[in-house]
Structure 1
Amino acid sequence: MTTQAYTIDAFTIFAASGLAANTVVRSVMAAVLPLAAPRMYATLGLGWGNSLLGFLSLCCFPIPFLLLKYGERLRGMNKEKMKRL
């Protein structure tokens, strides 16, 4: 939800394109994970396989907070780039 809200705020004119790109990335990840899961669980077992997914989730945990802290600066950089075009 936070990344979608950021995408809408950052790309006000092209919000639909930003949300479409976000949806494509999310759908690709949703398609790849079930394909990789049987091999991952066969190699790591249930405990470490689930732990790996948990650790990946923990790595993604600060992203919404980073967007809140640096989002205005990132949006400003995008507006400067759009003015040059």
Structure 2
Amino acid sequence: MPLSVTTPIVGTGVGTISTGTPFVHPELFQPYGPHQVLGVEPRTVLTQLASARGVTAVAARLGHTLDESQARAAMAWAKAV
């Protein structure tokens, strides 16, 4: 798969996925697994581009379940902060 101009292959951006990016299946757009290749744990950054779906997925990865109302409130917080 060709690398795009925004694909981080070195530095602190390796393994970082913005919630504005389709991060549900990162293997579809990351050139390699950052943990397997570099020992860098993947992380997701909630930004002003956050969606309720993204916030819900991040919460699930952290062991929390959000209902629709909680997801909207968390999304509004992420966008404001």
- Report the TM-score when normalising by structure 2: 0.28
- Structure richer in strand, relative to its length: 2
More helix by share: 1
Largest Rg, 1 or 2: 1
Q: Given the two structures, how large is their TM-score scaled by the length of structure 1?
A: 0.27
